[in-house]
């Protein structure tokens, strides 16, 4: 092998006499080092600030544009990446990016309870373990990528929709559009740190935790909605509903491209499965798609929708509206008040096979979380509660009824109530007997048409994409519950209704502070107006009795199920029970059905509410018992001073114990760096062991242990649509509202109804109605109802 020739040295004549250093270097020549990036000369803090600025440059939409910076060199990559490689891992930077782009998801255990799996199916991504907050960031960005691609048949399409729903829930905050940072405020901050008007605002990003004067920074609400709008989430959800809502309704595995395939498109694979008979499925991805549509719905989108598109969507949603015997609206049937179920209910029902009965449409009543069983453990499941399709379907359907479901105004009606009274007086003078008949006037019909059945969520303008205060620790939008706090908490706390091994001595209400997590206190008080859909009884019963529960061959006829709509008005008073008062117990559970007083609104038979003065009422009646049940009435969203006794309230005692235990934990963790030893007897006390199964809601207490309602139809509305009385309460487990609607005049032949449902945001109630006297173990005549908060 030939040896490589030695590189010849330059001759002395070729070396300039003025360059002795060059001559000396030629004797040991080495390649010139590659120039280093000027960014490496910057302090790491300033380098992170640059990366944050690049990642959140206005309009701050989509994935962070930091890839070119990460690709500069290995050293920069190590300093800026979130991956713990080569001793790096800048998690602080990526937490700041996450808070700049998305609404803060704190506290994390509560936020994670509404997220599905953070790992999407069939998407290549890093398997390196990351902190939960960064895992949420990665899940959000991957979901945006799937939604932006627009393929509703992608393997991760369903997962992305559920992530979008979780993002929108956590985005609720105070429920108002978040304004852009005021330029004057930004300039004052810049001047306070010595920046001239022309200085770039890069350094301003380091002031994300400060306030301007006495005004706190923006809380960051609306960020998730802006990101999802950029990704086209609403369009994606709309396509998913149109193309995949009826997928798999005959048990077929192959997806079809038609929204409502004909029965010949598939054959049932399992003859005993009620979900292979042609009815659309009730699954979480369908529910998430409908919720995403609802979050982006408003009057403008409805008016822009064509009549054909509106009717097509109503046809798709109609089964969810008219078949509560197939599509549940609550995580536990409404005839149960005490959840987890009582041991006596499970003992008499489940063991005897009577807690559910087989019907043509499957087991009834429907337990969406699975048939309950007796539990032998005090601990509660930490899994997430499931999404139901009926609720968002009902909201979207009623929203479209507002557009094309207005009542006609008969010309023969009196113009207003004064004219109606004058006509009656003339009739009395002519010999008419009895009381004035109940009948609307033209003014009543116009009022009914003007009032919405549902109220939309506030929309954040598309241009509000920049959050000057990109970082910080303010998480008030989640800790304060906000508009969607009850939905978030319901996902965490309501993961199963299995019965407990032991039963509480006190039936009725819940421990102080528990009920307010799943129901926003005071939110149901006031005037409500809405619509009750009354299906024709004969075709409705025919659907229930359909052979093998099959979907009708010709589909559901709209005129048979939603043509009759009853206007409804109710003015509700809300009453709270505080310790040491005893909440009124519900009726004893029926030995056969487990019913706890559905026909009485979960109140004892014959119970009535009597005012005691000073904003206090008492629930009295033959079934109440000898003990008094005194409640505090909300007036202007407030109860009287002193109703909540902080010193003796059990919830407040638990809260103080938790705070002492938390302080003790910090002392124990810091023992290795401090010689100070502090002993906290409560930390080792047996009483503290009772809190090892706490679920998170115990950290704050408002003292409320039960919520009861009373109400009636206003006289002016009762003269048009009949006078009704209302009574009921909140189910503490999931915040389900149960109301009995009775005609004030029992002699005119009007029925008594049981209405149950949830508040959506703070201004809309959606749910179902059924006859109060019907057997709770058999499907019966019923339908859907929606209310919106009325304007005085």
At 206 the pLDDT is: 28
Please check the confidence at residue 681 and state whether its pLDDT lies above 70: no
Q: How confident is the model at residue 263 (pLDDT cuts 50, 70, 90)?
A: very low
669 domain residue, yes or no: yes
Check: CB of residue 49 under 8 Å from CB of residue 97. Answer: no
| Cβ pair 208, 469 in contact under 8 A | yes
- Does 680 reside within a domain? yes
Dihedral sign computed on CA atoms, order 54, 55, 61, 62: positive
Task: With respect to residue 767, please indicate whether it lies within any of the assigned structural domains.
Answer: no
According to DSSP, residue 477 is labeled H
Q: State residue 33's pLDDT score.
A: 59
Assess whether pLDDT exceeds 60 at residue 265. Answer: no
Q: Give yes or no for a contact between 482 and 561, defined as CB atoms under 8 angstroms apart.
A: no
Which residue pairs from 148-154 have beta carbons closer than 8 angstroms and sit at least 24 positions apart in sequence?
A: 148/62, 148/230, 148/231, 148/232, 150/232, 150/235, 150/236, 150/239, 152/236, 152/239, 152/240, 152/243, 152/244, 153/244, 153/255
Reply yes or no on whether the pLDDT at 11 is more than 80: no
Mean pLDDT is lowest, of 500-509, 642-651, 713-722, 731-740, for 500-509
pLDDT band at 373 (very low <50, low <70, confident <90, very high): confident
Q: What is the pLDDT of residue 305?
A: 92
Q: 766: helix, coil or strand?
A: strand
Res. 354: pLDDT tops 50:
yes
Q: Are 732 and 586 in contact (CB under 8 A)?
A: no
pLDDT number for residue 667: 58
Distance of alpha carbon 169 from alpha carbon 162, whole angstroms: 11
Do residues 204 and 189 touch, judged by C-beta distance below 8 A?
yes
pLDDT bin (cut points 50, 70, 90) of residue 254 is very low
* pLDDT at residue 625, as a whole number: 58
Residues 683-709: pLDDT tens digits? 344 443 444 445 666 667 888 999 999
What's 754's DSSP letter? Answer: E
Lowest mean pLDDT among 100-109, 175-184, 579-588, 753-762: 175-184
Ranges assigned E (strand) in 360-425: 362-364
Task: Check residues 637 and 125 and name the one with the higher pLDDT.
Answer: 637
Region 484-503: mean pLDDT is 78
More confident residue, 747 or 34: 747
> Scanning the structure block, which residue is given the tokens 């979900």?
275
pLDDT for 679 beyond 60 = no
Residues 695, 714: Cα–Cα separation, whole Å = 41
Mean pLDDT of the chain: 78
Distance, CA of 614 to CA of 612 (rounded, Å): 7
- C-alpha–C-alpha distance, residues 743 and 709, integer Å: 16
For position 348, what pLDDT does the model report? 57
pLDDT band at 497 (very low <50, low <70, confident <90, very high): confident
Confidence of residue 664 (pLDDT cuts 50, 70, 90): low
Averaged over 346-366, what is the pLDDT?
76
Short-list 567, 547, 638, 520, CA closest to 274: 547
Residue 661 in any domain: the answer is yes
E-assigned strand segments in 518-638: 526-534, 564-578, 608-613, 616-620, 630-633
Query: 711 and 755 in contact (C-beta within 8 Å)?
Result: no
Is 678 contained in some domain? yes
The Cα 316–Cα 240 span in angstroms is 12
Range of the domain at 684: 650-694
What's the total number of domains in the chain? 1
Looking at residue 531, its pLDDT comes to 94
Q: At 62, is the secondary structure helix, strand, or coil?
A: coil
Of the pLDDT bands very low, low, confident and very high (cuts 50, 70, 90), residue 591 is confident
CA dist 140 to 98, 157, 225, 774, Å? 9, 13, 12, 46
Taking residues 460-480, report their average pLDDT: 40
| pLDDT tens, residue by residue, 19-60 | 444 444 445 556 555 566 788 888 888 888 999 999 988 889
Residue range 138-162, pLDDT digits in tens: 999 999 999 999 999 999 999 999 9
Mean pLDDT across the stretch 337-366?
79
Phi, psi of 357 (to 5 degrees): -130, 145
CA dist., res. 272 & res. 26, Å (int): 90
Question: Is residue 656 in a domain?
Answer: yes
Q: Cβ(484)–Cβ(520) under 8 Å?
A: no
Asked if residue 671 is part of any domain, the answer here is yes
Each residue's pLDDT tens digit, 721-745: 999 999 999 999 999 999 999 999 8
Q: What is the average pLDDT across 223-248?
A: 95
301 has a pLDDT exceeding 80: yes
Percent of the chain with pLDDT over 70: 72
**Percentage of the chain exceeding pLDDT 90:** 40
Indicate whether 685 belongs to any domain: yes
């Amino acid at each position: 092998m030939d040896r490589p020739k030695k590189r010849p040295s330059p001759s002395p004549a070729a070396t300039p006499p003025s360059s002795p250093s060059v001559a000396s270097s030629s004797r040991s020549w080495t390649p010139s080092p590659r120039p280093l990036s000027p960014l490496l000369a910057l302090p790491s803090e300033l380098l992170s600030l640059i990366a944050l600025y690049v990642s959140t440059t206005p309009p701050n939409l989509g994935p962070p544009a930091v890839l070119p910076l990460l690709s500069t060199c290995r050293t920069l990559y190590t300093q800026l990446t979130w991956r713990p490689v080569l001793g790096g891992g800048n998690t602080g930077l990526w937490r700041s990016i996450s808070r700049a782009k998305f609404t803060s998801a704190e506290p994390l255990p509560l936020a994670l309870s509404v997220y599905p799996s953070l790992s999407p199916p069939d998407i290549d991504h890093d398997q390196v373990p990351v902190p939960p907050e960064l895992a949420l960031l990665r899940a959000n960005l991957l979901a945006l990528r799937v939604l932006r691609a627009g393929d509703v048949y992608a393997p991760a399409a369903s997962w992305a929709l559920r992530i979008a729903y979780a993002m929108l829930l956590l985005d609720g905050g105070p429920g108002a559009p978040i304004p852009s940072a005021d330029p004057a405020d930004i300039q004052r901050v810049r001047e306070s740190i010595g920046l001239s008007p022309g200085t770039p605002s890069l350094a301003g990003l380091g002031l994300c935790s400060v306030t301007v004067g006495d005004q706190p920074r923006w809380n960051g609400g609306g960020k998730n909605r802006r990101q999802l709008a950029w990704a086209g989430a609403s369009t994606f959800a709309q396509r998913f509903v149109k193309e995949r809502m009826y997928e798999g309704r005959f048990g077929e595995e192959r997806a079809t491209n038609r929204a409502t395939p004909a029965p010949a498109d598939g054959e049932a694979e399992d003859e005993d499965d009620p979900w292979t008979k042609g009815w659309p499925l009730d699954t979480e991805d369908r529910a998430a798609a409908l919720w995403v549509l609802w979050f982006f719905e408003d009057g403008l989108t409805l008016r822009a929708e064509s009549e054909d598109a509106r009717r097509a969507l109503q046809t798709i949603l109609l089964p969810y509206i008219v078949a509560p015997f197939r599509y549940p609206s609550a995580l536990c049937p409404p005839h149960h008040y005490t959840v987890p179920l009582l041991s006596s209910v499970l003992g008499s029902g489940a063991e005897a096979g009577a807690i559910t009965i087989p019907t043509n449409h499957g087991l009834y009543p429907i337990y969406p979380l699975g048939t309950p069983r007796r539990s032998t453990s005090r601990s509660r499941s930490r899994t997430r509660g499931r999404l139901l399709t009926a609720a968002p379907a009902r909201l979207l359907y009623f929203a479209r009824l507002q557009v094309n479901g207005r009542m006609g105004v008969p010309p023969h009606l009196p113009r207003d109530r004064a004219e109606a009274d004058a006509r009656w007086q003339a009739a009395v003078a002519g010999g008419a007997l009895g009381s004035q008949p109940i009948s609307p006037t033209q003014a009543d019909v116009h009022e009914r048409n003007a009032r919405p059945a549902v109220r939309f969520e506030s929309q954040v303008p598309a241009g509000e994409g920049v959050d000057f205060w990109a970082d910080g620790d303010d998480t008030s939008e989640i800790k304060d519950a906000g508009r969607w706090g009850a939905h978030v908490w319901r996902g965490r706390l309501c993961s199963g209704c299995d019965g407990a091994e032991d039963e509480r001595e006190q039936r009725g209400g819940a421990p102080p502070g528990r009920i307010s997590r799943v129901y926003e206190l005071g939110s149901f008080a006031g005037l409500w107006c809405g619509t009750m859909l009354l299906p024709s009884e004969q075709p409705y019963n025919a659907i229930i009795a359909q052979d093998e529960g099959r979907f009708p061959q010709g589909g559901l006829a709209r005129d048979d199920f939603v043509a009759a709509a009853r206007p409804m008005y109710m003015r509700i008073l809300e009453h709270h029970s505080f310790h040491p008062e005893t909440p009124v117990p519900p009726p004893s559970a029926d030995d056969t059905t487990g019913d706890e007083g559905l026909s009485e609104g979960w109140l004892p038979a014959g119970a009535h509410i009597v005012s005691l003065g000073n904003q206090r009422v008492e629930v009295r009646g033959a079934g109440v018992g000898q003990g008094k049940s005194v409640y505090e009435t909300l007036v202007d969203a407030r109860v009287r001073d002193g109703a909540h006794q902080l010193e003796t309230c059990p919830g407040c005692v638990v809260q103080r114990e938790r705070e002492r235990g938390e302080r003790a934990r910090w002392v124990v963790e810091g023992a290795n760096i401090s010689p100070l030893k502090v002993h906290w007897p409560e930390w080792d006390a047996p009483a503290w062991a009772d809190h090892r199964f706490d679920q998170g809601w115990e950290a704050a207490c408002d003292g409320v242990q039960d919520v009861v309602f009373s109400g009636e139809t206003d006289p002016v509305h009762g003269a048009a649509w009949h006078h009704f009385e209302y009574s009921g309460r909140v189910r503490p487990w999931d915040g389900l509202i149960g109301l009995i609607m009775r005609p004030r005049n029992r002699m005119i032949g009007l029925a008594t109804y049981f209405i149950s449902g949830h508040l959506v945001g703070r201004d809309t109630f959606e749910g179902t109605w059924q006859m109060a006297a019907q057997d709770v173990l058999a499907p019966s005549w019923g339908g859907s109802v929606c209310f919106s908060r009325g304007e005085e």
